[in-house]
Homo-oligomer: A and B are copies of this chain.
Amino acid sequence: MRITIKDIARKVGVTPATVSMVINNNPKISIATRERVQKAIKEMNYRPNFTGRSLVKGRTNNIALVAPLMSSFFTMEIVRGVESKISGTEYNLVLYSTINKEKSISEICYEGRADGVIFVSVKPDDDMLKDFERMEIPAVFVEEVVDGFPGVKFNNVKGAYVATEYLLKTKRKNIGIIIGKEGMWVTERLKGYRDALEDNDVEFKPERVARVSDDTFGEGKEALRKLLKENKKLDAVFCASGDITAVGVIQEARQLKINVPEELGVVGFDDIYLSGLTHPAITTVNQPEFEMGTKAFELLMEVLTSSDKKVKKVISFDPELVIRDST
């Protein structure tokens, strides 16, 4: 027995239209009726129905967020960033997982579920992308940036560059890299690594690259063993795949009685919460996920409120090398 605008109208003895105008602070309503209506609203604890309002207004007040939530800390931090900004606005955040990626995306695109969408590490196929434009649903891309859309990205090339450069500065010459198997970030970080080597006249050697399929403890341990087998004089490892890989590397080194940082320098990537808490604390490339999330939301708001809807700004975040004890 949900209370509607009609119940209030009946109780006060006016029409629903009048009640609606009171709710929306329409100045045309006389103070007398306004007060009677407001009194009834309070008494009955009435609040306008969200769905009814959405239908007539043609907007949902929902922001969709599509992200591989299940797979990484990275994504969760971005969600927190978005969340921190969205509360206080009139918008709600609706989560869509990438488990049924196509389904999620098409629901957002064709079913009018959201006024805007934030994609994190996800890209709809080209047809769908066109449809988002056609449907005039503003979209912002985080990490995986798409041409013609606003986005928030991280300078992976530079991040890998400064990490490698720092290892070179600390007199290490035989620097291995542990990195993922595919994705834009893999290409970019590998480029940063190679650029730094080249700029410092150190030869790039393919056997110093170890591939992992995920940023995990176990993969880190395994990758170090592989690198050591193929590189007898290895004196540093850049864990471009992430900090958890770095933790694995450090632990494996401990087991192999290799001192970190004396015999082996280790640099991670991401600067997740635990990186400063391990022993030795991990030197790493800070990637400000939280801020990237807040920025993504701000960008989306900019599109949503701007008149031309043609905001295509791409914000790039620069890395910061956080030097701790593992180098």
Contact = CB atoms under 8 A, between A and B. Distances in A.
Given A95-B93, A97-B83, A277 B70 contact: no
**Interface size classification for chain A:** 35 or more
Interface string A61-97: 0100000011001001001100110111000111111
A95 B97 contact: no
A217 to B, nearest CB: 6
A316 interface: no
Given A45-B131, A93-B95, A247-B274, 13 more contacts: A46-B110, A47-B110, A47-B111, A50-B111, A69-B79, A73-B273, A79-B95, A83-B97, A84-B97, A84-B99, A87-B100, A274-B278, A278-B279
A251 B277 CA distance: 8
A247 B277 contact: yes
A200 interface: no
Interface stretch (A51-59, A149-157, A189-197): A51-59
B94 A94 contact: yes
A296 interface: no
**Of A73, A248, A274, which is in contact with the most chain B CB atoms at under 10 Å from its CB?**
A274
The count of identical subunits is: 2
B112 A49 contact: yes
A2 interface: yes
A52 B55 contact: yes
12 contacts: A47-B110, A50-B113, A52-B55, A55-B55, A69-B83, A83-B95, A87-B99, A88-B99, A94-B95, A254-B279, A274-B277, A279-B279
A148 interface: no
A244 interface: yes
A60 interface: yes
Contacts of A135: 2
B49 A70 contact: no
Nearest to A244: B277
Contacts of A244: 277
A48 interface: yes
Contacts of A111: 47-50
A130 to B, nearest CB: 11
Given A244-B277, A277-B244, A100 B112 contact: no
